[in-house]
Chains A and B, each alone.
Chain A
Amino acid sequence: MPRVVIKRDSCKGCELCVAACPQRILAMSKEINLKGYFYAKVVEPPRCIGCRMCALTCPDVAIEIGVSGAQYNFFEE
């Protein structure tokens, strides 16, 4: 079961992760973070497939991903 952690105050609100997520489960929050940006957040965590697309495309390393149990590898490094 993958878990996406978005560091709220590292996000600059560029929305690249939202566009990159194949499951369409990322969206911009209505609140702003310390930098004054609407930050990205996971809308439906259970539908996350751990593909890491969001983390790959985040320019600010604001997204960390953890998994427990087996995880399908969508691309080999």
Chain B
Amino acid sequence: MEVIFKRPEALTATPTHYCPGCSHGIIHRLVAETLDELGLRERAVGVAPVGCSVLAYNYFNCDFQEAAHGRAPAFATGIKRVRPDLIVFTYQGDGDLASIGMAEIVHAANRGEKFTTIFVNNAVYGMTGGQMAPTTLSEQVTTTCPMGRDTSDVGHPIRVAELLASLETPAYVARVSAHRPHDIVAARRAIRKAFQYQAEGLCFSLVEVLATCPTNWGKTSSDAVEWLEKNMIPYFPLGELKTPGDDSVAGLTEGL
């Protein structure tokens, strides 16, 4: 009996605290599979954010640091600058990266810090119980926009991948999704590319991964997958927005 699917070595056996159907578990596995496949686990250092995935350090079988809210890119900059031989990645949510940590991610990307960011966009603040995030969609209901996000009052959701792809320096910026098997396979390809570019010492790489949050969206896991497909993907189109050697300001490319 040949095993063709099992828990990657870079993932611990610890059961996760994530809610049933939450994409974090899938995305953790994709990153862990990549670390195994590229043989990077033993020199990897992950930086966990503040958010649902703060406890990521319990689930990854590699060195980890847990950052202050929004500061993971600064932590990763510090690590990578003093130890360029290490493979450094941040794993962040949308509140952590695009709200309090926006300055950190934009400047780390713009300096071309040679680490990889896995940016999980589930359009709400998960850990604190479903508040409006910078990526909350127009008219989407959350606990801090109970009548639905009013873009005339608090503006439109931020497209982080496009924002960072408009910078000259970053080498690889892609947006993928983890809601259906087909997309999960494509997401893994993008994550592998991002880590490969880092292993080659190329430049900054970021993969934005659209994710479900059944609990705070108030939906079953399967309904959440449908909601993501119908609502998030049209506003946050999937694709590789910037690839190495692509110096021009990137438009949308269907490269996956």
Contacts and interface: CB of A to CB of B under 8 A. Distances in A.
Given a CB threshold of 8 Å, the question of whether A touches B is answered with: yes
Interface of A: 2-3, 10, 12-16, 19-20, 37, 50, 52-53, 55-61, 63-68, 71, 75, 77
A56 to B, nearest CB: 4
Interface of B: 1-7, 11, 15-16, 18-26, 29, 180-181, 184-185, 188, 214, 220-222, 225
B26 A59 contact: yes
A16 B225 contact: yes
B218 to A, nearest CB: 15
A34 B107 CA distance: 46
30 contacts: A3-B1, A10-B15, A13-B20, A14-B221, A15-B21, A16-B21, A16-B222, A19-B222, A20-B180, A50-B4, A52-B4, A53-B181, A56-B5, A57-B184, A59-B20, A59-B21, A59-B25, A59-B26, A60-B16, A60-B18, A61-B6, A61-B7, A61-B29, A63-B5, A64-B6, A66-B4, A67-B1, A68-B1, A71-B4, A75-B185
B6 A67 contact: no
Contacts of B184: 56-57
Shortest 6 CB-CB contacts between residues of A and residues of B = A59-B25, A14-B21, A12-B20, A14-B20, A65-B5, A14-B221
A68 B221 contact: no
A67 B221 contact: no
B11 to A, nearest CB: 7
Contacts of A65: 3-6
Given A12-B20, A50-B4, A66-B4, 9 more contacts: A15-B221, A15-B222, A37-B20, A56-B181, A57-B26, A60-B16, A64-B5, A65-B4, A65-B5
Given A20-B181, A56-B185, A66 B3 contact: yes
A67 B2 contact: yes
B15 A60 contact: yes
Nearest to B2: A67
Contacts of B22: 59
